[in-house]
A and B are shown apart, each in its own frame.
Chain A
Amino acid sequence: MKKIFICNLFKYYTTSFISKGFEKLGCKVMVKDYNSPQDKFRDAELEEKLTKDIGASKPEFVFTVNYSPIVSRACYKSDVKYVAWTYDTPMDIPNTDTMDNPTNRIFIFDHGEFMKYKNMGLDTVYYLPLATGFGDVSADPINGDYLYDVSLVGNLYKATFPYLKEKLDEYHTGFLEGIMTAQREIYGSYFVLDLLRERQEEVLGINKISGLKLSPEQISYSLAAYITYLDRLSLMAMMSKRFNTALFTGGMHEKEKKLMKELKILPNVDYYKGMPEVFRRSRINLNPPFRAVWSAMPQRALDIMSSGGFLLSGFTVELSYYFKNGEELVLYDSVEDAVAKAKFYLHHEDLREKIKKAGYEKVKEEFRYEDRLRLILDTVAN
């Protein structure tokens, strides 16, 4: 029987589905929680602890959701295979140093990111789109009894940009806002990072004036987060003025709340116990993706469908590749487009139910944990 050691350095929603999935495939799964390291890239003490634990359990391989350079080093030292399956993109790592450790088997859910690393010459990377597990958990999706017209489960992505802006001069503020205005128009492609990497002069200027030491990656992340924030804010404002709209979130500023007095603001829901129900009881479920994500299928989008919810999502390349737009889900490419489509599908219930059912069937068939995990097992065994 294969032994798998799952290390939880950070809390990730899907770990439970994954560990149960491995068990269903006949593996013995050991899960251990660790205190989240302050520095996620280097922590000698944690690395030592991990090495000891790995040595003691002697697993077939170690597994984490998302990739950890610390775990990678520990596994390399112990000569034990390390499997990581990402569900965040871009990967939060300072450089690719540990990625070529030969004990790595890194499964990346974003095809664009996978290709990037593949083209760099890394042979420890694989492409593996995500899975979703609520179709197994729930019975048939509930048809009647809707509580909301439109829902969004998630945070508004409050960004660091406003703080950066305070420290900048007019020119560089304009520069970054010009870039954001342009990128905001575009789904299915993200050019901000490449652009910032090319414009060393402006990045130097930004750091000089602000006194910070930001890399192009960090600035890019900040801008993407802000664009996402603006998207989600506008969506909530526009949707709530027209439809019965709910937002399930960790928190919202008074200023933001004032913009949308009609919005029902509700607390966060538990991923396993509360979230699927919300999706089922909303006529339309929004997935406004993190705007640096141009390729991948977000976990949220898949979860909505497997819960039996109707999905209205921002366009990404892979969503459009795996699913038929207008038949299994609906994609939008601007806030205005999303609002128009919400209105349309609220008025066309039969069509909406048809799409919802088709999406549910599709993920039930082709996005099972069991299939993904079996692929991981097979890949690692060879």
Chain B
Amino acid sequence: MKVFFINISSFCNADFADALLRYSHEGKPTEIYYYDFENHGERNDPLREEDMLKSIKREGPDFAFSFNYYPIVSKVCQKAGIKYVSWVYDNPHIALYSYTLINSCNEVFLFDSGMYEGFFSQGIKTVHYMPLAVNTRRLSGIEVNSETLAKYSSEVSFVGSLYTEEHNLYDRMYEKLDSYTRGYLEGLMRSQMQVQGYDFIKKSIQGKIMEQMYAAMPMEPNKDGAETREYMYGDYVINRKISGIERLEILKQIAKHHTVDLYTKDETLVAEGIRNHGIAQYYDTMPYVFKSSDINLNITLRSIRNGIPLRCFDIMGCGAFLLSNFQSDLFRFFEPDKDFVFYESRNDLLEKIEFYLKNPEMRQKIAESAYEKIKKDHTYDIRVEQILSEANIM
């Protein structure tokens, strides 16, 4: 089996490729041809498309693969007559609204069941639901010793972005907004932060509010896309902002009682009780962080509707204890209080942190139970089989 692997920077590439290479079809090993690709959101690039098509014709792969979805790749695969397997781990992912999504060559695997239902219920047949995975083989080889413990030991840790990038979309838009809309969005965001498991942002930013937001910071849907303004402003601007606010507020609240170890891109962030270690490299650092932390937090990006974020798999795959916000897809595969713990509100979160810090044996039991499930059902080896089977490849 030969895979045309769209080589665009992504955490999971190496782990997935590793699993692909271990897969053999009818006794024959798998070959990977890496095609370097950069994405700037284009939907058309004749030169690049021609080059890709030439490569495919020359290499003769059985299918093309990429993490996340690229309309250009779909166009080329459609022309070349090979399947395009895309495994999406981002939400929002505006490229999915490109008209190319219905290309018959597509086998698009979405990590968020809410996203999947959104497309499938509208008659899009090229989508599947496929939760993410983790490479337990690699992670089990990573051992914690007194040196790494000294460096990474933590009561409560959080690895993730705080979406504080300068010129972030919300702040840019805010500058030009009128007072009413500023107040409205604040009230709306604060309301959403009270609720888990249901997103009412898109429904609540129609009419005059949308007009004002557009006037302050115009964003146009792609001419060849089916995305709406509500989707763009709702997920790319507002839900992102909510997550930034929410994550920082939660960490600060926890930090009043326990030191919080934060691993995040923005090194300039300073807050009392929070140790900001800067970015944690996915392969080199993260496993140590998870394996050395008593409690590993997951506070899901608000635009992810039901999906299990990669972070959860990373944590459980390390045999570490996961404390997460409510994400309904977790319940498809994992049992609360047995494999992981979830919180329903900030108060609930604080109480659970207190409780589980005092109960290391319970944490251990829960982490072990999750790890067994991950090894059994959620490794890349398993996903390769599932994806190939569902895509009817081989």
- Chain A interface (Cβ < 8 Å from any Cβ of B): 169-179, 181-183, 185-186, 189, 191-192, 194-195, 198-199, 202
Nearest residue (CB) in A for B204 is A181
Find chain B residues with CB under 8 A from A199 CB. Answer: 190
Q: Flag B165-192 by CB within 8 Å of A: 1 or 0 each.
A: 0000000000000111111111111111
Nearest residue (CB) in A for B177 is A174
A174 and B192 form a contact (CB under 8 A): no
Find chain B residues with CB under 8 A from A170 CB. Answer: 178-180, 183
Let me know if B333 is at the binding interface, CB within 8 A.
Answer: no
CB distance from B209 to the nearest CB of A (A): 9
A175 and B183 form a contact (CB under 8 A): yes
19 contacts between A and B (CB under 8 A): A170-B178, A170-B183, A173-B180, A173-B183, A174-B179, A174-B184, A174-B185, A174-B187, A175-B183, A178-B183, A178-B184, A179-B187, A179-B190, A179-B191, A182-B192, A183-B191, A191-B195, A195-B190, A202-B186
A182 and B204 form a contact (CB under 8 A): yes
Find chain A residues with CB under 8 A from B358 CB. Answer: none
Find chain A residues with CB under 8 A from B181 CB. Answer: 174
Q: Flag B103-128 by CB within 8 Å of A: 1 or 0 each.
A: 00000000000000000000000000
Let me know if B332 is at the binding interface, CB within 8 A.
Answer: no
Most buried by B among A170, A178, A198: A178
B178 and A178 form a contact (CB under 8 A): no
CB distance from A257 to the nearest CB of B (A): 25
CB distance from A231 to the nearest CB of B (A): 16
A171 and B188 in contact (CB under 8 A), knowing A182-B200, A191-B195? no
A185 and B183 form a contact (CB under 8 A): no
With A and B bound together, what is the CA distance between A185 and B195 in angstroms?
Answer: 12
Q: Flag B187-203 by CB within 8 Å of A: 1 or 0 each.
A: 11111101100101001
Most buried by A among B178, B179, B190, B203: B190
B180 and A174 form a contact (CB under 8 A): yes
CB distance from B199 to the nearest CB of A (A): 10
Choose among B179, B189, B194 the residue that contacts A171 (Cβ–Cβ < 8 A).
Answer: B179
With A and B bound together, what is the CA distance between A192 and B195 in angstroms?
Answer: 11
Find chain B residues with CB under 8 A from A179 CB. Answer: 187-188, 190-191
B187 and A175 form a contact (CB under 8 A): yes
With A and B bound together, what is the CA distance between A217 and B178 in angstroms?
Answer: 28
A186 and B200 in contact (CB under 8 A), knowing A170-B180, A194-B194? yes
Nearest residue (CB) in B for A168 is B183
With A and B bound together, what is the CA distance between A294 and B263 in angstroms?
Answer: 39
Find chain B residues with CB under 8 A from A185 CB. Answer: 200, 203-204
Find chain B residues with CB under 8 A from A198 CB. Answer: 190
Nearest residue (CB) in B for A177 is B184
A172 and B194 form a contact (CB under 8 A): no
A171 and B182 form a contact (CB under 8 A): yes
With A and B bound together, what is the CA distance between A189 and B192 in angstroms?
Answer: 12
* New contact pairs (17) apart from A199-B190, A202-B186, CB-CB < 8 Å: A170-B180, A170-B183, A171-B183, A172-B183, A174-B179, A174-B181, A175-B184, A175-B187, A176-B183, A177-B183, A178-B185, A178-B186, A185-B200, A186-B195, A191-B194, A192-B191, A194-B194
CB distance from A191 to the nearest CB of B (A): 4
Which residues in window 194-231 of B have CB below 8 A to A?
A: 194-195, 198, 200, 203-204
B195 and A189 form a contact (CB under 8 A): yes
Find chain A residues with CB under 8 A from B198 CB. Answer: 186
Nearest residue (CB) in B for A189 is B195
A169 and B179 in contact (CB under 8 A), knowing A178-B204, A182-B200, A191-B195? yes
Find chain B residues with CB under 8 A from A194 CB. Answer: 194
A178 and B195 in contact (CB under 8 A), knowing A170-B180, A185-B203? no
Find chain B residues with CB under 8 A from A173 CB. Answer: 180, 183
With A and B bound together, what is the CA distance between A240 and B203 in angstroms?
Answer: 25
With A and B bound together, what is the CA distance between A194 and B191 in angstroms?
Answer: 10
With A and B bound together, what is the CA distance between A170 and B177 in angstroms?
Answer: 12
What 4 A-B pairs are tightest by C-beta distance, nearest first? A178-B187, A174-B183, A182-B191, A174-B184
Choose among B179, B191, B194, B203 the residue that contacts A178 (Cβ–Cβ < 8 A).
Answer: B191
Find chain A residues with CB under 8 A from B203 CB. Answer: 185
Find chain B residues with CB under 8 A from A191 CB. Answer: 191, 194-195
Find chain B residues with CB under 8 A from A189 CB. Answer: 195
A176 and B187 form a contact (CB under 8 A): yes
Find chain B residues with CB under 8 A from A177 CB. Answer: 183-184, 187
Find chain A residues with CB under 8 A from B204 CB. Answer: 178, 181-182, 185
CB distance from A154 to the nearest CB of B (A): 27
CB distance from A62 to the nearest CB of B (A): 37
A175 and B195 form a contact (CB under 8 A): no
A174 and B182 form a contact (CB under 8 A): yes
Find chain A residues with CB under 8 A from B187 CB. Answer: 174-179, 182
Find chain B residues with CB under 8 A from A195 CB. Answer: 190-191, 194
CB distance from B173 to the nearest CB of A (A): 15
Nearest residue (CB) in A for B199 is A185
Nearest residue (CB) in A for B178 is A170
Find chain B residues with CB under 8 A from A178 CB. Answer: 183-191, 204
Most buried by A among B183, B189, B200: B183
A175 and B191 in contact (CB under 8 A), knowing A170-B180, A182-B204? no
CB distance from A209 to the nearest CB of B (A): 12
CB distance from A328 to the nearest CB of B (A): 26
Choose among A169, A182, A202 the residue that contacts B188 (Cβ–Cβ < 8 A).
Answer: A182
Find chain A residues with CB under 8 A from B200 CB. Answer: 182, 185-186
Find chain A residues with CB under 8 A from B182 CB. Answer: 171, 174
With A and B bound together, what is the CA distance between A349 and B359 in angstroms?
Answer: 59
A171 and B191 in contact (CB under 8 A), knowing A185-B203, A186-B200? no
Find chain B residues with CB under 8 A from A192 CB. Answer: 191
With A and B bound together, what is the CA distance between A181 and B187 in angstroms?
Answer: 9
Which residues in window 86-105 of B have CB below 8 A to A?
A: none
With A and B bound together, what is the CA distance between A185 and B194 in angstroms?
Answer: 13
CB distance from B168 to the nearest CB of A (A): 20
Most buried by A among B182, B191, B192, B204: B191
Nearest residue (CB) in B for A176 is B187
Nearest residue (CB) in B for A172 is B183
CB distance from B290 to the nearest CB of A (A): 31
Find chain B residues with CB under 8 A from A169 CB. Answer: 179
